[in-house]
Amino acid sequence: QRENIKGLLKQLNKTLSDYISGQAIECLFVGTFTFLGYLLIGVDYAFLFGVIAGLTNLIPYLGPYLGLAPALIYTFFDSPYKALLCVIVVIVVQQIDGNVIYPNVIGKSLNIHPLTIILILLVAGNLAGILGVFLGVPVYAILRTIIVFIAKIFRQTKQEEREQEFLS
């Protein structure tokens, strides 16, 4: 079974690397568009705040707020109106990200339908909270890879048995 296990591990490696690259693209989107939004409203250090928003976006639920905090604190002392605009920028970017970008980017990278990803996030979030949202999609992808691989091995074994019966 060594070759089968090596094949399964190779497929699991590909699944996880596809997930990580999808997450990187998604964080790049959040960082870039947060930066552009901050730049548009005239926030100093918009690039730095955009990078922080992109990096903290890896953390489910709390990430967008943690990414907003430095920009909010900085702009609040400069202009409370600008701080309000920062909140609006982050809300718009997060809505686009959560409803369009994340399901499509992760879905394409893992070959999972975007609606399936949304359902996974809802179910995993209800079952396991923040940890469920964070781990739901990669666990689903890993389980799917294992099940598809086992089904393929099972079909191959059945096919070989039929061929042996036919030759006998």
Q: Residue 143 sits in which domain range?
A: 2-167
| 24-42: pLDDT as tens digits | 998 999 999 999 999 999 9
Mean pLDDT of the chain: 90
Tell me the residue length of the chain: 168
The pTM for the full model equals: 0.77
Round to whole Å and give the CA distance between 87 and 85. 5
CA dihedral 133→137→139→145, nearest 10 degrees, is 170
| 127-164: pLDDT as tens digits | 998 888 888 889 999 999 999 999 998 998 888 888 88
Number of domains in the chain: 1
